[in-house]
């Protein structure tokens, strides 16, 4: 089944959570590292105590899978560290199964009226390098996501440093009124090029009322809600998404259902809509995606493309009559001058807005109409061509 993808990526963020009320019970717990697996102690404390402290001096080991769902009125002050055990075989065999895309998670976190607060100093370390190296030997290995926010209501995750996630950092499932803010997330391999899709992305079938604001990303997959329409007979809905005030540098994708005030810097695909994503072009042509996309707004989009796709500044690609009411206003994203005049491609997309004239129907596709051929290096910039079927 052809995969479909629109919008922008990093981690999914739900809005409208309010400050959790005072705990219903007054027990206070302070956790200390045991020197072995601390998962059982963490779970007991989160369930038994209204106020949990991990002091600055403590480094607790998540040695076995951690289930802290069903919490109620708990305030967790994570000032120290939580570190995932770097055991590829254990997590491959024992992480929690996640039905979405056959994924898994090391930590389930959820409940009602729960706060996880790093207070600006607390760190969650996923020991990702071990998993990145393992994938060199076994490309089919699917490391666990660090955390799955599961069955949460009025949950706040804030003021945390998150390092070296084995895969995605936070995946959201079956939750509402979730607020995630002031996170410093960094994942980088020291031995190979860590795939951007592993770094700061959350896909979101059936996600609604999402607000993302004040985001800064470097070297990531962009900001996306996608992987829609993958399963035959399954209806995926994404609606009421607002993304504002975002800077993305050196990314694969940029803005990909309002995206406003974006600064793109050296991104491969700054503005993209593609409803036949990561699928062989011949398959897309023979079996056009039935995914419908409508009422998407790109406003105040400025910056630069990397030249990876030649002089393409933006690419809109859909099956016939499937993408309507796509609004583009105040768009000025340029490819490197070495790649030729910047063009915005449009294939079967109904474009409106004051930038619509820049997206003429059936505009030149990669490798055509004067666009540089594949792998042409001009002035130190490599300008690549190819098909616009993404």
CA distance 342 to 265: 15
Q: Is the pLDDT of residue 365 over 80?
A: no
Q: What is the pLDDT of residue 379?
A: 42
More confident residue, 311 or 4: 311
CA distances to 32, 37, 53, 187 from 117, rounded to whole Å, are 17, 22, 10, 20
Give the pLDDT band (50/70/90) at residue 249. Answer: confident
Q: What is the pLDDT of residue 32?
A: 98
Contacts for 326 with CB less than 8 Å, ≥ 6 apart = 273, 293, 294, 296, 298, 316, 349, 350, 351, 352
CA distance 58 to 100: 34
Q: Which of 14-28, 89-103, 115-129, 354-368 has the lowest mean pLDDT?
A: 14-28
Helix/strand/coil for 159: strand
Q: Are 363 and 352 in contact (CB under 8 A)?
A: no
Q: Give 112-137 pLDDT, tens digit per residue.
A: 999 999 999 999 999 999 999 999 99
Q: What is the pLDDT of residue 49?
A: 96
Q: Are 292 and 323 in contact (CB under 8 A)?
A: yes
Q: What is the pLDDT of residue 371?
A: 34
More confident residue, 48 or 364: 48
Q: What's the farthest any 2 CA atoms get from each other in the chain? A: 70
Q: Give 260-280 pLDDT, tens digit per residue.
A: 889 999 999 899 888 777 677
Give the pLDDT band (50/70/90) at residue 242. Answer: confident
């Amino acid at each position: 089944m052809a995969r479909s993808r629109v919008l922008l990526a990093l981690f999914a963020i739900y809005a409208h959570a309010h400050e959790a009320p005072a705990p219903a019970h007054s027990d206070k717990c302070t956790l200390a590292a045991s020197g072995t697996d601390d998962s059982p102690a963490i779970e007991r404390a989160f369930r038994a105590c209204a106020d949990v402290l991990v002091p600055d001096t403590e480094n607790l080991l998540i040695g076995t899978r951690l289930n802290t769902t069903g919490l109620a009125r708990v305030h967790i002050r994570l000032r120290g560290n939580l570190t995932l055990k770097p055991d590829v075989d254990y997590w491959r065999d024992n992480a929690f199964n996640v039905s979405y895309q056959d994924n898994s998670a090391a930590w389930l976190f959820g409940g009602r009226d729960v706060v996880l607060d790093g207070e600006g100093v607390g760190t969650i370390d996923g020991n990702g390098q071990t998993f990145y190296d393992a994938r060199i030997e076994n490309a089919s290995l699917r490391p666990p996501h660090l955390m799955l926010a599961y069955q949460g209501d009025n949950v706040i995750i804030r003021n945390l440093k998150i390092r070296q996630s084995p895969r995605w950092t936070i995946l959201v499932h079956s939750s509402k009124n979730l607020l995630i803010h002031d996170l410093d997330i960094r994942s980088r391999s020291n031995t190979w090029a860590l795939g951007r899709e592993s770094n700061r992305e959350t896909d979101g079938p059936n996600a609604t009322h999402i607000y993302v604001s004040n985001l800064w990303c470097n070297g990531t997959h962009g900001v996306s809600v996608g992987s829609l329409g993958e399963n035959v007979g399954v209806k995926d809905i994404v609606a009421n998404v607002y993304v504002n005030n975002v800077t993305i540098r050196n990314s694969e994708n940029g803005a990909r259902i309002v995206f406003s005030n974006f600064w793109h810097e050296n991104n491969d695909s700054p503005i993209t809509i593609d409803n036949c994503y990561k699928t062989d072009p011949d398959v897309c042509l023979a079996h056009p995606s039935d995914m419908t996309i409508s009422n998407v707004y790109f406003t105040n989009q400025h910056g630069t493309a990397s030249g990876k796709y030649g002089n393409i500044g933006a690419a809109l690609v859909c099956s016939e009559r499937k993408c309507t009411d796509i609004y583009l206003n105040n768009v000025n994203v340029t490819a490197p001058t070495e790649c030729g005049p910047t063009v915005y491609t449009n294939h079967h997309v109904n474009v409106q807005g004051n930038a619509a004239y820049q997206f003429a129907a059936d505009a030149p596709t990669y490798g055509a109409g004067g666009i540089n051929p594949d792998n042409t290096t001009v002035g130190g910039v490599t300008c690549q061509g190819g098909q616009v079927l993404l």
